[in-house]
Structure 1
Amino acid sequence: MPEDEMLEILAIDAAVARSTGSDRYGITDAGFVPKSYSRVLAERFALAREVFGGDIDLTAGSVLRKLLEVTSLEDARTWAALTRAYDDSFVTSATGAALSRLGEELGLPRPHLEARGEVTLELAGDLPDGVTEVAVPRGARMLSPGGHHAWLTAAATLSASSPEAVVPAAAFHPGPDGDLDPADGGEVTLDRFHPDDDRLQPLRDLEAAAGEPLVTIVHDRPFVGGTSRWPDERYRRLLLRAPRSVWTADAIRIAASLVAGVRRVEVRDAWGGLDLHQSIFGNFNFAERLFGSERDIARPYYLTVLVGPTPGAVWNGPDGLHAAVASAIEDVRPVSIFPYIQQAQLVSVGVEADLVVDGLPLPPGSAARDAAPAAIELKRRIARRLTEHVDDAGFGEPVRAASVIRIIMEEPAVRDVRDLRLVRFPGDPDGATVAADPLPADVQQLACGANVHVGVDQLPVFVPDDARLRVV
């Protein structure tokens, strides 16, 4: 028997040996503390000595010791099962089906994920004179004859030399209904773009100039993954934020955040400060007029619901995000207090940097290294990391150059990041826009190490651009 186990046996006095537990185990102020296998076995040995005498044979080969070891193992498994049952009673520690049951008790079943797949975009007609390529932006919304919605998760460029592109896409609405299989018939086959998608206005202008459609959607691969549900950690964060009441700002925020196409929501009762956007501001002297008057009690009271959309969201229209959010919060808003649903301004953020890498099969020469398949795949992995990082930013939260460097350095093959500069579009900090993807030429390039600052009603959106990341 190991010496530490023998010392633990000797430390158990007669009172503890005749008991089934002690104050240190079970439900305590620190939570549930289980007995370990060695502790249970030590108590069994001590109890055997009390019953059969101190000279009982408990050596490694004795029959009694083997029986005590087997029963102690079963007791230790029981303690472990009790630990799991205790942990599954709380949102902070429950996992799997237990966490789902707690969420259902709170009225928030575990949401589904969006189905994902691929579509092929094909150049269908001749481009107008002077036009060499057609760009289809990331987030472009697609429809099927049966009313199913999907969006492109990456941008695509079509030209005469490259007339088609296979583009990743995702169902807009989560759940099994997003598992679109063209083999099921034309009702679920994506074949058109959304008419209310403002991102596609440049494409519509080109098609009007050409007099015919220029881009055709070929949906010949099934979308899968709609039956999957949120992972535990994401679902746990939702439940921990969930309110236990209605008619509150938290209830409105949670209801709006679960609408398909919503990235982030903030409920504001009053913005505070001076409304600099009023036309009268700056046109009178102080003490001559009031900045505002007392509220008219006969007028309804409004609160602001600031909504940050995902790339595939369409704001206007009967199936737009504005209408969906208004419907979702109708039953949880306070009585006689009406929401003003405001679309957040999106600021495109890009990254320019030189990457020093190691451990990748790269050819000699700067241009060849940067264009190698291994380098391109590295840039895509970095882009996915940066997209997740920027998507976690809240309203008014800057994108910090130091954080971007840390995210890039977490990629195993990267050894150094040099001359990192963040770029933003639009350059005007007060400019209102829908985030551009791909980034236009007139971006604002910040100084080396400078951060991208956004307003209180703005959200940063990372736009991947392989050409701005250079492998040296």
Structure 2
Amino acid sequence: MTTVTDYGVTADGFVLKPVDVILSESFDRARAAFPGADLTSTSALRKILETAAAEDGELWKRLEDLYYANFLSTAVGDALDLLGEDTGLERAPLASTGTVTVTLNKGVEGRSYVLPQGAILVTADRPGLPAQSFGTVAPVVLDSRGTPAADVGVVAFEPGPGGDVEADKITAIDPTYRSIYLTDLGAADFKVTNKAATTGGTEQEPDGTYRGRLLGIARNLWTVEAVAQAAQGVRGVLDVVLSDPLGGVDVSQSYFDLFNFDQRAFSSERRVGQPYFFTVVVAHDFRWPWHTTGSVPGVFERVGAAVDAVRPIGIHANIVEADHIEVGVRATLVIAPGSDGVALLSAVRRRLATDIGALRLGGDVLYAQVVSAFVEQPGVLDVQGLHLRRAPAAFGRITFGDVPFQRVLAEGAVGENLVMGPTELATFVVDGEAFDVTVVTG
């Protein structure tokens, strides 16, 4: 029995017709039109048919691209932008990045001065242009003798081409940030400048990121997804979790199906005029301040404004900052003779930053995942005595009075995962104190 294969648009999607099938069909038509025609490999007619089949093959590929350009899950480039316009969600611009030089002035000998990670830097006045704010991506430690100056990366708080500024335009620390976080400098001061222009603001988010936002967009106004979408659309927000003890937002509550919707609104019985609150736990990028600081609007205020746009009257959001838990490891790394231990540690740090940075709120740090980050590096023979760490440690679960905030490192046993609570987000600081690895040659 001969199986007939359908090509083009089918129930299973678009089936591309191969070039060999196109060529075979061309041979059949040529034999029907010219009985006894010479179709050997050296014939002129065959060469013409092969050339035409190759062109037809490219047309089929183009038809396949046009077909899959109609779906969010498969569209790319301009086709994905058009689908985004129909959905009402445009592709987001990226934030400008660059490097600034921080110089210590009037430092006291024998003392170190720290410009914290996430420090807010601002541009000088530019005629006709708004001021731009940038956040540092790592802490800077300076002293008057050994390290009076150092370079550090910066990222613009607001995405878009406005963050692309010329050289020598980032000149100061935000005054409000200075008054809150740099009160112990004394007579010392930090001078900042960017020797090169910042770039990247004219670029846009890649297809994969944009597609994920389009696929996750909520189609209804008042749902868990709609509120989460509104909060996650705020610049600097990494993840959100909604908590609703009365079941107004969380439809998984056992008594949700018991509501009489013609008599009750969003919750179990409550008194008329009594406001109803649900909780939005927000994990955010360390560079964004939680509350408005100087020229940078806070995550708390911006998430509240975004959620207000989708909440009904009388239903209010309680915006809560997630617990950002720094995680690290203590281990002995065995490397092959001749391997560069410093380079291997740098590679491991980058791998851990990527893997742990992909976790969501409540996501556990798996022991096997951390081991893989070590042993998959070329030149690593073994990793021994590996313990996962967290700082700060978990809050006390049984206590009288206030719950103590523990600043010491908590260390798990060999093979034990780090279990995160529902409001905890695991973070890995590349140069954090929780990373303690001894390198030995095998």
Normalising by structure 1, what TM-score? 0.78
Provide the secondary structure at the position in 2 that maps to 1:453. coil
Would you say 1:30 and 2:9 are equivalent positions? no
- Matches for 1:98-137 after TM superposition, within 5 Å: 98-127=79-108, 132-137=111-116
1:56 is aligned, of 37, 61, 72, to: 37
CA distance in 1, matches of 2:429, 2:148: 24
- Matches for 1:65-464 after TM superposition, within 5 Å: 65-127=46-108, 132-145=111-124, 146-160=130-144, 161-182=146-167, 188-193=169-174, 195-196=176-177, 201=181, 203-204=182-183, 206-207=184-185, 210=186, 212-270=187-245, 295-317=270-292, 319-358=297-336, 362=339, 374-429=340-395, 442-464=408-430
CA distance in 1, matches of 2:83, 2:304: 27
TM superposition shift of 1:107:
1.3
TM superposition shift of 1:310:
0.3
Give the stretch that moved more between structures: 139-148 or 256-265. 139-148
> RMSD of the TM alignment (CA)?
3.0
Contact 2:162 2:201 in 1 (8 A): yes
Contact 1:347 1:459 in 2 (8 A): yes
TM superposition shift of 1:114:
1.6
CA distance in 1, matches of 2:269, 2:310: 28
TM superposition shift of 1:12:
8.6
Distance of aligned partners of 1:44 and 1:461 in 2 relative to their CA distance in 1, 3 Å threshold? same
Q: Unpaired segments of 5 or more residues in structure 1?
A: 1-10, 14-21, 273-292, 363-373
TM superposition shift of 1:332:
2.4
Provide the secondary structure at the position in 2 that maps to 1:100. helix
Provide the secondary structure at the position in 2 that maps to 1:182. coil
Counterpart code for 2:32: E
Aligned to 2:252: none
Contact 1:357 1:414 in 2 (8 A): yes
TM superposition shift of 1:258:
2.2
Contact 2:121 2:170 in 1 (8 A): no
Contact 1:196 1:314 in 2 (8 A): no
Give the stretch that moved more between structures: 232-241 or 424-433. 424-433
Distance of aligned partners of 1:258 and 1:381 in 2 relative to their CA distance in 1, 3 Å threshold? farther
Distance of aligned partners of 1:171 and 1:414 in 2 relative to their CA distance in 1, 3 Å threshold? farther
Q: Which runs of 4+ in 1 moved over 6 A?
A: none
Give the stretch that moved more between structures: 138-147 or 417-426. 138-147
Would you say 1:39 and 2:21 are equivalent positions? yes
Distance of aligned partners of 1:327 and 1:99 in 2 relative to their CA distance in 1, 3 Å threshold? same
Provide the secondary structure at the position in 1 that maps to 2:141. strand
Distance of aligned partners of 1:294 and 1:106 in 2 relative to their CA distance in 1, 3 Å threshold? closer
Distance of aligned partners of 1:358 and 1:230 in 2 relative to their CA distance in 1, 3 Å threshold? farther
Kindly provide the CA deviation profile for residues 382-424 of structure 1, in whole angstroms up to 9, marking residues without a partner as x.
2222122112212222112211111333333434322222221
Contact 2:108 2:188 in 1 (8 A): no
Distance of aligned partners of 1:29 and 1:412 in 2 relative to their CA distance in 1, 3 Å threshold? farther
Normalising by structure 2, what TM-score? 0.83
Aligned to 1:470: 438
Contact 1:245 1:251 in 2 (8 A): yes
Distance of aligned partners of 1:376 and 1:112 in 2 relative to their CA distance in 1, 3 Å threshold? farther
Provide the secondary structure at the position in 2 that maps to 1:312. coil
Kindly provide the CA deviation profile for residues 432-453 of structure 1, in whole angstroms up to 9, marking residues without a partner as x.
99x99xxx8x322332232222
Provide the secondary structure at the position in 1 that maps to 2:227. helix
Contact 1:123 1:164 in 2 (8 A): yes
Counterpart code for 2:56: D
Provide the secondary structure at the position in 2 that maps to 1:167. strand
TM superposition shift of 1:349:
0.9
Give the stretch that moved more between structures: 83-92 or 154-163. 154-163
Distance of aligned partners of 1:120 and 1:149 in 2 relative to their CA distance in 1, 3 Å threshold? same
TM superposition shift of 1:80:
0.6
Provide the secondary structure at the position in 2 that maps to 1:356. strand
Distance of aligned partners of 1:227 and 1:469 in 2 relative to their CA distance in 1, 3 Å threshold? farther
Distance of aligned partners of 1:154 and 1:315 in 2 relative to their CA distance in 1, 3 Å threshold? same
Q: Unpaired segments of 5 or more residues in structure 2?
A: 125-129, 248-267
Distance of aligned partners of 1:335 and 1:413 in 2 relative to their CA distance in 1, 3 Å threshold? farther
Contact 2:107 2:188 in 1 (8 A): no
Kindly provide the CA deviation profile for residues 142-164 of structure 1, in whole angstroms up to 9, marking residues without a partner as x.
23345422111122211232121
Counterpart code for 2:123: S
Contact 1:421 1:448 in 2 (8 A): yes
CA distance in 1, matches of 2:382, 2:178: 40
Contact 2:102 2:191 in 1 (8 A): yes
Counterpart code for 1:471: V
Number of equivalenced pairs: 404
Counterpart code for 1:330: D
Contact 2:334 2:383 in 1 (8 A): yes
